[in-house]
């Protein structure tokens, strides 16, 4: 309880002292330095040595003690120097789907001899994946199930270089933010042709989403295994992939209100899946949400618009 | 389990472990060393995946069992040895559970404690060098955990740098930190005493004469005692059992009373008299109580003087120690009491008949006591031979020596002289100590070695103790120029030490080297190992005399601040923080010039953009501006520009910049 209170106060103080920025240069104003646990053990053993030296009246032991204490001070400066001057820049993260590990990238720049053995972590770790540190960049991973804008929080930069006696650390706020689309869930939702296209419905009687099989083509590596013509493979005629003809005429309208019996999040996930599928099969679709309608269209930017709209749907409260 | 150590880490750990074991080898029990190496081997096997680490429970069982065994093994060797071995045991057992970085830290910290214990045994400059190597090894173990990507060279340089940078502050602290007195009594190691023991039988001093180990060193302040006065008295022996001379019960009682604090001064030196000379003794540890002094020493602080004019320390001397002693010309003598007289004429029952007969014959022919003793000494100088390897004496030692073998060394002569004196009823006692010393000319001190050990006689005459050295009659060189000169057979000198530097005294270079080493070690002992509150005060006083208006506290504080700021400067090197290249300097200067004229560059503008801005807003021709941008970019982004080319281009850029600024 007490610890929680302290932590809260500390976070508040931090956000006042170090507001979010895209680029941070580490210096004495934004780093903290404390003796690490091992540093404290080191001091304790110094004290034991001091007692030994005093009780045996041995000057050389006392000199050893003074040397170790002085060494501690040198370490303080060296370990601060290792982090000081480190420039960290955040890199924009593209929107991703919820329920996956999200990669955040930071660019780092440091002198030749400093910046050794630094660990980067989110202050509140959410992913099990370890940070990948390269010479000029860092990849951090976070995890979130909620759609919408997600802020993974502060990045903890920490180092005990060179001798592990001091812990130099800081919690940096880069204002990291990523838009999370709803997690796609595979489904067989029945899709409706949009009313505007009803005039040529005579041509497309088939239920939308189940496309007409047209022909077989040589299979190429990288194509989805779902489209492989397994029958032909089994007959030993070689690898073919089934080509589907899409119904060019039928624009599809995705409506949030269609599956009213399901919870909102599930419906969003279903629609999300359908958008991905429709985009993959290059069909045209429109999206209507509670307070937002997106016109029929296709292509990457259209998909992005739709997914963004989905991500930002306000839950029923 | 995943191995967290790499090969380099483990190698360093094993190397530092072995080095520490090697340096403490003399103090450690062999079985425990073997056990330690088994632990180390186990860990190596685990590294290669051959053996598992030991479970926690089993480990505790092993730890307890081995501790019990250790205590059992070393029960008689005293608390100190048990402590040392338990620390060492913990150090070794850590190998079996070295499974996280924290364990390595524990390992290193224990290593520091062991180095401190090493310092208790060894304080010479050589062992200090050894210990500093050990410290470096331990620190590099720490560094290796954190600097895994570091190259070999930068690894070493970082290690050395951080150590060297720590030295100035450490030295300052060492000089100014006041030394506390012992907080509580610590156990001291029980170790066989070296040097003189409190009983002498022929053979003991001969054994010492085979050792070139340093006994103590002396610096005279002012007048140096002449050669024939350099009798360093350690103790007197007044009890004879026919073979061995030892201290009588009353003497022992007096000593133990003095040590327990019942009385510190058993004889009174004439306080008002000016000391004849002053000297500083630096005694090597001999694990005994005696302090060798010239006759007659005043009592320095912390020491006890006994009625036989010898000094004692109240604690055994286990570390190299320094004392300042004043030598007095005379002391006030007390009359011998009857019991004293009885003690000083005591002889063993089994008499040496031949000698007794010789005395009786002499007395019968009318010689006086003095005459008889003189005759004895003349006899020594005529037919006797000085040797460190005398034949073994028969049961009646004095008879056999005086009338049969006639060959021996100081104890034989002193012993037989004493026998005769006591038989004649003259109170007499044996004194043991050291004689002479080697003069280290360059530093001005005497080093007295174990082979300088000596025994002589004091007889009571004319109400005072008179020194007689029977050995000087048989081998006067022994007194004048040391043991080596007095031996007719040179191979007897240091017979056991084949590699001793002392044996090579005739070789010039070796002599020089030996002198230098001794001198360094002496300075080390005098100024570092024995730097105490007293010396500290003196040093500070000297500083104060130097600048009388300054407060010592401020001096110390400002020295610390100074060192710290030097450290800061040296580590962060602010002077090469912003190192502009030449082209950047020109560019900045150009910006500065136009800044004053109202054209400012915003941070995100490139050179080309900036030059466009210039040509748009000033009277400059756009061609000139463009050529500047082009020239700048060429220098900046061309790779592997030869130096000559670089200089030409810089000159051109400078020229363009000048033109831009001129109009």
Of B110, B123, B143, which has the smallest distance from its Cβ to A60's Cβ?
B123
Q: Classify B608 as helix, strand or coil.
A: helix
Q: B162 to chain A: nearest residue by CA?
A: A74
Q: What per-residue confidence (pLDDT) applies to A167?
A: 92
- How many contacts, defined by CB atoms under 8 Å, are there between A and B? 148
Q: What per-residue confidence (pLDDT) applies to A204?
A: 42
CB within 8 Å of chain A, chain B residues 568-587? 568, 571-572
User: In this complex, do B142 and A53 lie within 8 Å of one another by their Cβ atoms?
Assistant: no
**Contact status of B142 with chain A (Cβ, < 8 Å):** yes
Of B116, B131, B154, which has the smallest distance from its Cβ to A52's Cβ?
B116
The pLDDT profile of chain A, 317 residues, written as one tens digit per residue, is 788 999 888 888 888 888 888 888 888 888 899 999 999 999 999 999 999 998 888 889 999 999 999 999 999 999 998 888 888 888 888 888 888 888 899 988 877 677 888 889 888 888 888 888 888 889 999 988 888 888 888 899 999 888 889 999 999 888 888 899 988 888 877 777 655 444 444 444 444 444 555 566 677 766 667 677 777 777 777 777 766 544 445 678 888 777 778 888 888 888 888 888 888 888 888 888 887 888 888 888 888 888 888 888 876 53
User: In this complex, do B147 and A38 lie within 8 Å of one another by their Cβ atoms?
Assistant: no
CB within 8 Å of chain A, chain B residues 499-558? 528-532
Q: B150 to chain A: nearest residue by CA?
A: A116
- Runs of H (alpha helix) within B214-275: 249-259
Q: Is the pLDDT higher at A198 or at B414?
A: B414
Q: A70 to chain B: nearest residue by CA?
A: B166
Shortest distance between the Cα of A130 and any Cα of chain B, in A, equals: 16
Q: What per-residue confidence (pLDDT) applies to B558?
A: 86
Q: How much of chain B exceeds pLDDT 70, in percent?
A: 88
pLDDT tens per residue, range B499-535: 555 666 666 777 778 777 877 888 888 788 888 887 8
Q: Cα–Cα distances in Å, from B453 out to B210, B214, B240? A: 10, 11, 20
Q: Minimal CA–CA distance to A242: which of A258, A231, A253, A250? A: A231
**Contact status of B160 with chain A (Cβ, < 8 Å):** no
Tokens linked to A230? 């397994």
What confidence category does residue B16 fall into, taking pLDDT thresholds of 50, 70 and 90? Answer: very high
User: In this complex, do B119 and A61 lie within 8 Å of one another by their Cβ atoms?
Assistant: yes
Q: Which of A162, A166, A168 to mutate to test the interface with B (most CBs of B within 10 A)?
A: A162
Task: Tell me whether residue A252 is exposed, middle or buried, using C-beta atoms within 10 angstroms of its C-beta: 0 to 12, 13 to 18, 19 or more.
Answer: buried
- Angle at Cα A271 formed by Cα A269 and Cα A276, nearest 5°? 95
Q: What per-residue confidence (pLDDT) applies to B578?
A: 59
What confidence category does residue B151 fall into, taking pLDDT thresholds of 50, 70 and 90? Answer: low
**Gap between the terminal Cα atoms of chain B:** 75
Instruction: Give residue ranges of A with CB < 8 Å to any B CB.
Output: 37-38, 41-42, 44-45, 48-49, 51-64, 66-71, 73-75, 77-78, 81, 84, 113, 116-117, 160-165
User: In this complex, do A61 and B568 lie within 8 Å of one another by their Cβ atoms?
Assistant: no
Segment B274-287 mean pLDDT: 82
Shortest distance between the Cα of B82 and any Cα of chain A, in A, equals: 15
B76, pLDDT greater than 60: yes
Q: What per-residue confidence (pLDDT) applies to B342?
A: 85
Distance between CA atoms of residues A66 and A75, nearest Å: 14
Cross-strand bridge partners of residue B331: B269
User: In this complex, do A61 and B116 lie within 8 Å of one another by their Cβ atoms?
Assistant: yes
B170, pLDDT greater than 90: yes
* CB < 8 Å to A48, chain B: 113
Segment B240-262 mean pLDDT: 79
**ipTM reported for the complex, 2 dp:** 0.76
What confidence category does residue B131 fall into, taking pLDDT thresholds of 50, 70 and 90? Answer: very high
**Contact status of B119 with chain A (Cβ, < 8 Å):** yes
B5 with B48: CB under 8 angstroms? no
Tokens linked to A237? 């005629």
pTM, to two decimals:
0.72
Q: Is the pLDDT higher at B557 or at B258?
A: B557
Can you spell out the DSSP letters for A230-266? HHHHHTTS--EEEEEE--SS--EEEETTTTTTS-HHH
Distance between CA atoms of residues A89 and A111, nearest Å: 15
**Stretch among A49-63, B195-209, B235-249, B386-400 having the lowest mean pLDDT:** B195-209
Strands A137-143 and A101-109: antiparallel
Q: What per-residue confidence (pLDDT) applies to A76?
A: 92
Angle between helices B152-176 and B125-146 (to 10 degrees): 130
Q: In the predicted model, what is the mean pLDDT of chain B?
A: 81
Distance between CA atoms of residues A30 and A24, nearest Å: 9
What is the phi-psi region of residue B584: left when phi exceeds 0, alpha when psi lies from -120 to 50, beta otherwise?
A: alpha
Q: What per-residue confidence (pLDDT) applies to B223?
A: 79
B78 with B187: CB under 8 angstroms? yes
Segment B588-612 mean pLDDT: 81
**Stretch among A215-229, B57-71, B405-419, B470-484 having the lowest mean pLDDT:** A215-229
Note every long-range contact of B298-303, with CB atoms under 8 Å and residues 24 or more positions apart, other chains counting.
Answer: B298/B269, B298/B325, B298/B326, B298/B327, B298/B328, B299/B264, B299/B265, B299/B269, B300/B324, B300/B325, B300/B326
Tell me B309's DSSP state: S
Q: What per-residue confidence (pLDDT) applies to A317?
A: 39
């Amino acid at each position: 309880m007490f610890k929680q209170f302290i932590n809260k106060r500390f976070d508040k103080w931090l956000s006042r002292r170090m507001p979010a920025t895209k680029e941070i240069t580490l210096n004495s104003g934004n780093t903290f330095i404390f003796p690490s646990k091992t540093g404290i053990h080191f001091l304790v053993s110094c004290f034991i040595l001091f007692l030994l030296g005093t009780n045996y009246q041995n000057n050389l032991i006392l000199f050893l003690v003074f040397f170790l204490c002085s060494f501690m001070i040198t370490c303080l400066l060296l370990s601060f120097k290792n982090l000081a001057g480190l420039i960290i820049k955040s890199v924009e993260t593209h929107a991703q789907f919820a329920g996956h590990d999200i990669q955040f990238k930071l660019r780092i720049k440091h002198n030749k001899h400093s910046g050794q053995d630094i660990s980067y972590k989110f202050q509140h770790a959410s992913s099990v994946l370890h940070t990948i540190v390269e010479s000029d960049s860092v990849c951090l991973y976070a995890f979130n199930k909620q759609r919408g804008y997600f802020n993974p929080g502060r990045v903890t930069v920490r180092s005990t270089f060179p001798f592990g006696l001091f812990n130099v650390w800081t919690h940096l706020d880069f204002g990291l933010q990523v838009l999370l689309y709803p997690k796609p869930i595979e489904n067989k939702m029945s899709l409706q042709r949009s009313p505007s296209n009803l005039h040529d419905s005579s041509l497309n009687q088939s239920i939308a989403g189940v496309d007409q099989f047209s022909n077989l083509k040589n299979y190429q590596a990288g194509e989805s295994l779902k489209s492989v013509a397994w029958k032909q493979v089994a007959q030993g005629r070689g690898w073919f992939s089934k080509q589907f003809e899409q119904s060019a005429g039928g624009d599809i309208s995705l409506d949030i209100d269609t599956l009213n019996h399901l919870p909102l999040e599930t419906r969003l996930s279903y629609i999300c899946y359908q958008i991905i599928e429709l985009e993959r099969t290059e069909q045209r679709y429109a999206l209507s949400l509670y307070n937002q309608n997106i016109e029929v269209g296709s292509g990457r930017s259209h998909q992005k618009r739709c997914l963004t709209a989905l991500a930002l749907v306000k839950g029923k409260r | 389990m995943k191995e967290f150590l790499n090969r380099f880490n483990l190698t360093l750990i094993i190397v530092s472990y072995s080095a520490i074991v090697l340096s403490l080898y003399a103090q450690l029990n062999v079985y425990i060393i073997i056990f330690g190496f088994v632990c180390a081997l186990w860990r190596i096997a685990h590294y290669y995946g051959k053996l598992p680490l030991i479970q926690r429970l089993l480990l505790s069982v092993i730890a307890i069992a081995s501790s019990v065994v250790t205590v059992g093994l070393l029960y008689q060797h005293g608390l100190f040895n048990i402590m040392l071995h338990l620390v060492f045991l913990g150090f070794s057992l850590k190998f079996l559970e070295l499974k996280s970085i924290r364990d390595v830290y524990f390992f290193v910290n224990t290593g520091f404690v062991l180095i401190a214990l090493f310092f208790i045994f060894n304080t010479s400059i050589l062992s200090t060098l050894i210990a500093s190597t050990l410290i470096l090894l331990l620190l590099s173990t720490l560094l290796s955990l954190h600097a895994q990507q570091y190259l070999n060279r930068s690894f070493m340089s970082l290690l050395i740098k951080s150590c060297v940078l720590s030295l100035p502050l450490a030295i300052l602290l060492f000089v100014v930190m006041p030394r506390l007195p012992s907080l509580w009594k610590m156990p001291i190691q029980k170790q066989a005493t070296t040097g003189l023991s409190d009983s002498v039988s022929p053979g003991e001093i001969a054994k010492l004469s085979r050792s070139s180990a340093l006994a103590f060193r002396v610096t005279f302040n002012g007048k140096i005692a002449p050669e024939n006065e350099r009798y360093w008295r350690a103790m007197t022996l007044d009890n004879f059992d026919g073979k061995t001379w030892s201290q009588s019960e009353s003497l022992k009682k007096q000593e133990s009373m003095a040590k327990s604090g019942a009385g510190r001064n058993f004889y009174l030196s004439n306080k008002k008299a000016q000391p004849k000379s002053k000297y500083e003794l630096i005694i090597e540890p001999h694990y005994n109580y005696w302090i060798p002094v010239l006759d007659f020493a005043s009592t320095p602080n912390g020491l006890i003087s006994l009625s036989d004019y010898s000094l004692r320390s109240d604690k055994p001397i286990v570390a190299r120690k320094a004392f300042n002693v004043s030598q007095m010309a005379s002391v006030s003598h007390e009359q011998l009491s009857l019991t004293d007289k009885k003690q000083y004429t005591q002889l063993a029952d089994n008499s040496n008949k031949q000698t007794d007969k010789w005395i009786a014959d002499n007395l019968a022919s009318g010689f006086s006591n003095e005459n008889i003793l003189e005759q004895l000494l003349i006899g020594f100088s005529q037919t006797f031979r000085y040797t460190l390897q005398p034949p073994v004496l028969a049961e009646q030692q004095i008879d056999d020596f005086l009338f049969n073998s006639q060959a021996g060394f100081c104890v034989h002569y002193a012993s037989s002289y004493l026998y005769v004196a006591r038989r004649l009823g003259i109170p007499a006692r044996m004194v043991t100590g050291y004689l002479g010393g080697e003069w280290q000319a360059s530093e001005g001190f005497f080093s007295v070695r174990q082979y300088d050990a000596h025994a002589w006689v004091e007889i009571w005459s004319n109400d005072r103790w008179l020194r007689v050295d029977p050995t000087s009659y048989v081998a006067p060189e022994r007194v004048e120029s040391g043991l080596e000169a007095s031996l007719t057979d040179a191979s007897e000198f240091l017979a056991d030490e084949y590699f001793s530097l002392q044996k090579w005294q005739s070789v010039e270079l070796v002599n020089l080297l030996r002198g230098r080493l001794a001198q360094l070690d002496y300075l080390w002992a005098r100024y570092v190992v024995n730097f105490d509150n007293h010396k500290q005060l003196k040093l500070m006083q000297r500083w104060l005399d130097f600048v009388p208006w300054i407060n010592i506290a401020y001096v110390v504080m400002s020295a610390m601040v100074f060192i710290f700021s030097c450290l800061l400067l040296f580590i962060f090197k602010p002077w090469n923080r912003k190192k502009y290249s030449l082209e950047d300097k020109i560019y900045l200067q150009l910006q500065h010039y136009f800044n004053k004229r109202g054209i400012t560059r915003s941070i995100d503008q490139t050179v080309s953009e900036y030059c466009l801005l210039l040509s748009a807003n000033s009277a400059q021709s756009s061609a000139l501006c463009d050529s500047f941008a082009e020239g700048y970019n060429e220098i900046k982004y061309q790779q592997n520009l030869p130096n000559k080319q670089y200089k030409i281009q810089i000159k051109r850029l400078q020229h363009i910049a000048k033109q831009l600024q001129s109009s």
